[in-house]
Structure 1
Amino acid sequence: MMRHIVLTLGLLLGSTAPLFAQDNSDPAQPALLVADSVFVEDSDRLVATGNVEALHDGIRLSATQITYDRSTNELQIEGPVRVVDQSGTILTADYATLDQEFQNGLLTGARMVLDQQLQLAAVEARRVGGRYTQLSKVAVTSCQVCEHSATPLWQIRATRVVHDQEERQLYFDEAQLRVLDIPIMYLPHMRLPDPTLKRARGFMVPSLHTSTLLGSGIRVPYFIPFGDHKDLLLTPYVSPKTKTLEFRYRQAFVKGDIQLTGALSKDTLEEDQLRGYLFAEGEYELPRGFKLSFDLNAVLDASYLNDYNISSQDRLLSEIKIDRVRALEYTWMDLAHLESLREQEDNDTQPAISISFGSERRFYPSSIGGELRLTGVAHAHYRYSSTPTDGTDDDTDVDGRDVARFNGEVSWRDRWTLAGGLRAGVSTHLWLDHYRTEQDDTTDDIVSAATPGVAIDFRLPLQRTWADGGRSLVEPIVQYGWVGGERPNNPNDESTRVEFDEGNLLALSRFPAQDRREHGHQVVAGLRWLHKAPTGWTAAMTLGKSWRDIEDTDFTRSSGLSGLTSDWLVAARYTHPSGLSLSARGLLDEDAEAAKAEASATWSNKKLDLTASYLMLVADPDEDRDDAQTEWTFETTYRMTPYWSSNYEVRYDLSDERLDRLGLGLQYQNECVQVELAATRKYASATNLEPSTDFDLTVALKGFSTGGSAKEYRRTCAH
């Protein structure tokens, strides 16, 4: 017969229904058969030869010949045989005997491929119940096996492997792990998830960890899913110096999610003491557009996070926040707790607990034009100490000071375009402040103030288009500002660190909190320049300086705002389509010496990810910094080949002329394995009292659910 003859095996089973008049509601549909030649022998045997394809219930089978015997309800299939099910699992064989629904049978010279990743080669395979595939004398690998390299990098040999298609699990009997065909490990029984299962209960990829503080140990994660919306990861970490159980719990809700991360340890660093930490974070959508978010952090002793290389934090901030953002409104409530891990700081004298409420609304009244803003903020913070004086005889700080304040603001602003393109803007402000201070002998208990303010600015944006298509913008800016009244006798408890940058160049008050405001007359001059080239690179620069009639003694030397004249604010950035990005910011005094400077550079392409940063701060006793601080940081990832990559980290303290941190990592991965080696050296510093060196080694066999996907690095036999 001609190719593309289509028959149904159901005709041989005595079905009297016409070929194209089948009842589609019947779940047991007959199989479709396509072949070059189809004929019937003795009315009981159907023989199909030449490019044979059969389709039944989502399973596609191809072979050189299929013989169906109605008396035994068996298919005898001559290879090469290829069976593909709905999940994409491929089963090949030299010869097969199957039932008419392809659910049960025996295949010899079988090979199964799961999710185009994991290969299982066996002497024979048996299909049972349409769910299980039992393979005998099996070799399992996800490595590409070619004729010129018949030995894979790794393989698992087993006397029997059972694949549960429904649970997507692989069960091994007498399993032997081989690397380059050399036996490495033996397990009598083993279970692994197949690559199609993304969240499988069981052991994950272990890692080796060596530390000068904790010795050499091993981490063996165990993953426990609870349905599709929550899971628990338990990671025992055992070494001669520590017994640790790390954990991570995650749960997703319809309107939010939470994650708990922590550990408990018994080690030789702190004898007879239980050590550990707990971090909790999450968010949840509340009614009427509000959102709840929290980030809670706790540790049993101050050095635990550093000893176990968990985090470099030296102050733990726990926070619960409820907020709502609308087009013309922002409302929030914040409850926070601060715990310092620094040896030189006493938590009893730190503002440990704080609470804030606030709301800001905007209106656009048609009667007067412009924008009207109403803002109200209530804040309080509490110290555990009850001492109303300072134990170090420094009258700028008080050990037990507790503060509560309310700050309200009514402001109106508008902007116009004048002749010649000159832009003019005005803003008026009225601040209503009320402060209550307890346990502080140096200030008044209760003070209130009403403070007016006004600002007028002029801008002249000048734009030019160059002959090559590039565009430049130059915008000089001048602003006059005035804030009336005098500073009340309330403590400076929140605004001790002031930053002078592009964001507050034109602000009437540059203090970070409302317990301080600038007063008097002030003039600010600035220049903004921006250029965009047709080739895609952009550059920008901002210059700024301020002059005032009253010196504010609450501005520190390194703020750049002390005295009647501020330092020059200089900020610049540059980006290029090649992946290069540069930025720099600094404060320059009258002698062009920097009081504060920072710079960063990033370069990212297919081969390289580079980040470099520089930070310089002058000595400033008012900010508890007796010596200048200067630091370089480099972080680099270099992809040497499609399979090899390395990463480097260097942090160097220029002031002390010493290394602060040094890290090196090397990674190799192909279609069947991923190996990561990392080494980190942390040197002694103010927050890290004891230097340490850590080594980590992780080897993951790819192709299983626990080891990651093998598809991205799939090679061909030509390479």
Structure 2
Amino acid sequence: MTRRLSSLAAAGLVACIAAAGIASQAFAQSAIEELGAETIDRDQPVALIADEVTYDTNTGRVTARGNVEVYYGDRTLTADEIVYDSRADRIEATGNIVLRDPAGATVYADLADLDAKLRDGLVRGARSVLGERAKLSAVEARRFEERYNALSKAVYSPCDVCEEDPTPLWRIRARKIIHDEEEKTIHYEHATLDVFGVPVAWVPYFQHPDPTVERASGFLVPSFQQSGNYGFGTKIPYYVVIDDRSDMTLTPFFTTEEGVIGEFEYRRVFGTGSFIFSGSVTRTDYTGESSFQGNVDTRGRFDADWLDEGARWGWDISTASDDAYLRRFDFSDNDILTSTVFVRNYWNDGFYDLTGLYFQSLRDNDPAGQIPRVLPEFEARREYADPYLGGEVGFFTATETLFRNNGRDVTRFSLGADWEREEILPVGLALRGFAELRGDVFIVEDDPTRGDFTSARFAPYAGIEARYPLIWEESDGDAAHVIEPIAQFVVAPTGGNGSKYPNEDSQQVEFDETNLFEVSRFSGYDGFEEGTRATFGMRYERVISEGVRVDGTLGRIFRFEDADEFGVGTGLSGMTSDWVGAWSVSLAPYLTVRQRMRVDGDFDINRNEVFADFEYGRVSLSAGYAFLEADPSTGSPSDREEVNALAGLQLTPEWRLSGFLQRDLIADAFVETGGAITFQNECCAVDLFVRRRFTDSDDAPASTSVGVQVRLLTIGTDQTLRRRDPLPRFTSPNLRNSEFAQMGGE
């Protein structure tokens, strides 16, 4: 006897049908009893939806046809037709089969034979999607023990394919692939890696985490490089998950000429912060004798609520065994390593910062004994509303102690207060009054010329500043022009500099449009800008929501007496300073051009920096030019002039060319050049680059490096292939100022 159910919704699977529509509740209950209600998991919601459902009481088989949807808890099955055999407690499905499990995996198939709970069974023509990207396909797939999916003659790949080209860019073919859903790993037996359909590697067995795993131990993608210093090199990183809060990466760096370099990185997260400890070590003889060489980099950040609410403490420490190690093995081009340990806190009306500093010079012939160690450097400030004069009054203190193995030791203690108030008059004129009282005490030991001595300095100043912004709009109202004349007048005493007031933290002086209207152009407390002076300047800006944006600044300082505390190369010495100016033109997002200049009274250029960024379609270009006049007082005995450029061309959505250069125009020689070609699509990225460093130093001669790195999505890398530039960003070691130089280094 066959009963036909015609209903849009009929609930009942795993020995249960409850039909709605034509079927009555009584009939539904009868059907449940006939199918063996004793096998139903009452706690598991079960449902069947189909265009047509029939039940054969003789065979105990339920047949559903047309847009069939089966739900068992959080598992689902859709198909053109299913047959449920209540006696065998199994389901047969055919036509456009889709299986979804709670972990998010989706299986497509042509034929399926499953148990009634949709957990175990056999699937033919299986195609599975794991997570968002990874895809598995097999001639046959079998599920068992409610955790293993065994695929025969299977293929794994995250690459997209189309009907015109069904071969993925890369894939792994295997005699058998087993997906362990409990351990979240994919195992391969007799696996072959294909690239563009061509076999390139074979292994009898390997495994990797499935794409749903964020962290798992295992090998990461290796990289390959070559250099004239160490020959051919290969890095094979191994990632270790220690626990939920820590992990480690161990990377043997195999080279043909320098042996093996061991790299390591350990990371740990705590409830109050985190830290990273990394570095490398090797035994080498490039220094003339066989010895261990290496480097350490570590940084940490932690809450310091035990000291003060909102406070943080931490460290940034970098050190290397010798001057050449980092450059020789392409770890870094830095010529100064700075290490700090700090405790600090910032809030709306104040802050404090306690820091210790250590500098390691990697430059040839630097006098190591004269490089200072700073311990401690402390600065604190607190601001209050002024109940008498209006505005704000601030109190501050700062201290700094420098130690040297071979040279003078200096301690400076500063204490002071400042005041500031700004008013805008009805005519639009903005007036700002300001003043500061500061006292400094210097304690010097082992000075090469004066021995031990102590000195004190009173360093007050007061001033007023006026700004009068003039604004008008263009006739169409799309843009506005702002011209702002600025005048500043400062009164300060003289005699606050000299040999009895050692200058350790303010040797490098930058004078440009950014500090034209600052009260002091010194970067620290040791220097004091003395004498009465007036600063005049003007700022302009074209304000527009879209289109061409223009801005510019021009100004100069006039003094009542010579400013001999500044070197001749700073542009601040004498009765009048250099003219400083800057302008920029921007047509977002295509073009930006910026220039900064410093010109003396005879209109000789003492500083000139030009930068341009251009991007249109597939082309991007960044270029820069810099010229700085010699300033022997700050350790720059000759002019410095460089150009640099970084360019990229997107050949196709997948292929990109890029290159860079840096050239010293004074020496008429390149500093560094390089180029790269990158391929990247939705499932892999390949970076091939070449780089030539022309600078030469002890034990790290000029060299050429070539490298290649392959990143395969879901295998040995993160789950999103972020586009990145394999070339190093431009830096200018000849032009940049360092903290070491500001602390008295030469």
Pick from 444, 448, 473: which aligns with 2:456?
Answer: 448
Pick from 239, 245, 260: which aligns with 2:277?
Answer: 260
1:406 shift after superposition: 0.8
Query: Is the contact made by 1:452 and 1:485 (CA closer than 8 Å) also made in structure 2?
Result: no
Q: Which residue is equivalent to 2:481?
A: 472
4+ residue runs over 6 A deviation? 13-19
Pick from 462, 474, 487: which aligns with 2:470?
Answer: 462
| Secondary structure at the counterpart of residue 520 of structure 1 | coil
| Secondary structure at the counterpart of residue 274 of structure 1 | strand
Pick from 676, 691, 694: which aligns with 1:680?
Answer: 691
Query: Is the contact made by 1:194 and 1:705 (CA closer than 8 Å) also made in structure 2?
Result: no
| Secondary structure at the counterpart of residue 119 of structure 1 | strand
Query: Is the contact made by 2:15 and 2:86 (CA closer than 8 Å) also made in structure 1?
Result: no
Query: Is the contact made by 1:587 and 1:594 (CA closer than 8 Å) also made in structure 2?
Result: yes
Unaligned runs of 5+ in 2: 19-27, 724-746
Q: Distance in 1 between matches of 2:327 and 2:177?
A: 45
The aligned runs of 1:27-106 (5 Å cut-off) are: 28-41=43-56, 42=58, 44-106=60-122
Q: Distance in 1 between matches of 2:459 and 2:197?
A: 82
Matched, 1:540 2:551: yes
Q: Distance in 1 between matches of 2:492 and 2:41?
A: 85
Q: Which residue is equivalent to 1:565?
A: 576
The aligned runs of 1:331-480 (5 Å cut-off) are: 331-385=352-406, 400-418=407-425, 420-443=427-450, 445-469=453-477, 470-480=479-489
> Per-residue displacement from partner, 1:475-521 (whole Å, max 9, x unpaired)?
11222211125226222233222111234323333222222212222
Query: Is the contact made by 1:410 and 1:431 (CA closer than 8 Å) also made in structure 2?
Result: yes
1:701 shift after superposition: 2.7
Q: Which residue is equivalent to 2:743?
A: none
Return closer, same or farther for 1:180/1:497 CA change in 2, 3 Å cut-off: closer
Return closer, same or farther for 1:646/1:255 CA change in 2, 3 Å cut-off: farther
Q: Distance in 2 between matches of 1:640 and 1:237?
A: 33
| Secondary structure at the counterpart of residue 414 of structure 1 | strand
Q: Distance in 1 between matches of 2:42 and 2:674?
A: 61
The aligned runs of 1:166-185 (5 Å cut-off) are: 166-185=182-201
Q: Distance in 1 between matches of 2:486 and 2:16?
A: 92
Query: Is the contact made by 1:117 and 1:710 (CA closer than 8 Å) also made in structure 2?
Result: no
Query: Is the contact made by 1:468 and 1:534 (CA closer than 8 Å) also made in structure 2?
Result: no
Query: Is the contact made by 2:248 and 2:265 (CA closer than 8 Å) also made in structure 1?
Result: yes
Pick from 487, 500, 522: which aligns with 2:496?
Answer: 487
1:606 shift after superposition: 5.7
Pick from 626, 635, 658: which aligns with 1:624?
Answer: 635
Q: Distance in 2 between matches of 1:492 and 1:647?
A: 44
Q: Distance in 2 between matches of 1:104 and 1:52?
A: 20
Q: Which residue is equivalent to 1:313?
A: 334
Q: Distance in 2 between matches of 1:302 and 1:450?
A: 42
Return closer, same or farther for 1:414/1:706 CA change in 2, 3 Å cut-off: closer
Q: Distance in 2 between matches of 1:686 and 1:234?
A: 30
Q: Greater CA deviation, 425-434 or 4-13?
A: 4-13
1:40 shift after superposition: 1.5
> Per-residue displacement from partner, 1:532-557 (whole Å, max 9, x unpaired)?
13534322111111122232333112
Matched, 1:603 2:614: yes
Amino acid in structure 2 at the alignment position of 1:2? S
| Secondary structure at the counterpart of residue 486 of structure 1 | coil
Unaligned runs of 5+ in 1: 386-399, 713-719
Q: Which residue is equivalent to 2:211?
A: 195
1:329 shift after superposition: 0.6
Return closer, same or farther for 1:17/1:459 CA change in 2, 3 Å cut-off: farther
Amino acid in structure 2 at the alignment position of 1:327? N
Q: Which residue is equivalent to 1:220?
A: 236
Query: Is the contact made by 1:10 and 1:30 (CA closer than 8 Å) also made in structure 2?
Result: no
Query: Is the contact made by 1:142 and 1:710 (CA closer than 8 Å) also made in structure 2?
Result: no
Q: Greater CA deviation, 487-496 or 237-246?
A: 487-496
| Secondary structure at the counterpart of residue 279 of structure 2 | strand
Return closer, same or farther for 1:653/1:688 CA change in 2, 3 Å cut-off: farther
Q: Percent identity?
A: 30
Return closer, same or farther for 1:162/1:606 CA change in 2, 3 Å cut-off: farther
1:354 shift after superposition: 3.5
Q: Distance in 2 between matches of 1:711 and 1:371?
A: 47
Q: Which residue is equivalent to 1:149?
A: 165
> Per-residue displacement from partner, 1:662-713 (whole Å, max 9, x unpaired)?
111111122333211011110025699511111111123324463644899x
> Per-residue displacement from partner, 1:232-260 (whole Å, max 9, x unpaired)?
11111102123011112222222322122
Amino acid in structure 2 at the alignment position of 1:601? A
1:43 shift after superposition: 5.6
Return closer, same or farther for 1:153/1:422 CA change in 2, 3 Å cut-off: closer
Query: Is the contact made by 1:200 and 1:705 (CA closer than 8 Å) also made in structure 2?
Result: no
Q: Distance in 2 between matches of 1:446 and 1:253?
A: 46
The aligned runs of 1:665-704 (5 Å cut-off) are: 665-685=676-696, 690-704=701-715
Q: Which residue is equivalent to 1:136?
A: 152
Return closer, same or farther for 1:185/1:527 CA change in 2, 3 Å cut-off: same
The aligned runs of 1:490-529 (5 Å cut-off) are: 490-529=501-540
Q: Which residue is equivalent to 1:716?
A: none
Amino acid in structure 1 at the alignment position of 2:598? L
1:350 shift after superposition: 1.5
Q: How many residues align?
A: 695
Return closer, same or farther for 1:419/1:144 CA change in 2, 3 Å cut-off: closer
Q: Which residue is equivalent to 1:274?
A: 292
Amino acid in structure 1 at the alignment position of 2:436? H
Q: Distance in 1 between matches of 2:716 and 2:313?
A: 34
Q: Distance in 2 between matches of 1:170 and 1:209?
A: 30
Q: Distance in 2 between matches of 1:293 and 1:594?
A: 43
Q: Distance in 1 between matches of 2:536 and 2:721?
A: 59
Q: Greater CA deviation, 675-684 or 4-13?
A: 4-13
Query: Is the contact made by 1:175 and 1:189 (CA closer than 8 Å) also made in structure 2?
Result: yes
Amino acid in structure 2 at the alignment position of 1:683? F
Q: Distance in 2 between matches of 1:27 and 1:367?
A: 79
Return closer, same or farther for 1:674/1:452 CA change in 2, 3 Å cut-off: closer
> Per-residue displacement from partner, 1:87-126 (whole Å, max 9, x unpaired)?
3312122222111101111112222222242222222111
Q: Distance in 2 between matches of 1:373 and 1:12?
A: 79
> Per-residue displacement from partner, 1:407-453 (whole Å, max 9, x unpaired)?
12212222333464333322222111111111014347111122332
Matched, 1:246 2:263: yes
Q: Which residue is equivalent to 2:653?
A: 642
| Secondary structure at the counterpart of residue 137 of structure 2 | strand
Amino acid in structure 2 at the alignment position of 1:403? V
Query: Is the contact made by 1:352 and 1:384 (CA closer than 8 Å) also made in structure 2?
Result: no
Q: Distance in 2 between matches of 1:481 and 1:706?
A: 59
Q: Greater CA deviation, 148-157 or 244-253?
A: 148-157
Amino acid in structure 1 at the alignment position of 2:181? Q
1:643 shift after superposition: 0.8
Q: Distance in 2 between matches of 1:291 and 1:536?
A: 43
1:54 shift after superposition: 0.8
Q: Distance in 2 between matches of 1:688 and 1:558?
A: 34
Matched, 1:115 2:106: no
Return closer, same or farther for 1:3/1:605 CA change in 2, 3 Å cut-off: farther
1:621 shift after superposition: 2.1
Q: Which residue is equivalent to 1:393?
A: none
> Per-residue displacement from partner, 1:326-361 (whole Å, max 9, x unpaired)?
111111101111111111211101213342111111
Q: Distance in 2 between matches of 1:581 and 1:293?
A: 38
1:17 shift after superposition: 10
Q: Distance in 2 between matches of 1:29 and 1:37?
A: 24
1:192 shift after superposition: 1.4
- TM-score (structure 2 length as normaliser): 0.88
Q: Distance in 2 between matches of 1:707 and 1:327?
A: 39
1:12 shift after superposition: 4.2
Query: Is the contact made by 2:17 and 2:31 (CA closer than 8 Å) also made in structure 1?
Result: no
Query: Is the contact made by 1:356 and 1:378 (CA closer than 8 Å) also made in structure 2?
Result: yes
1:316 shift after superposition: 0.8
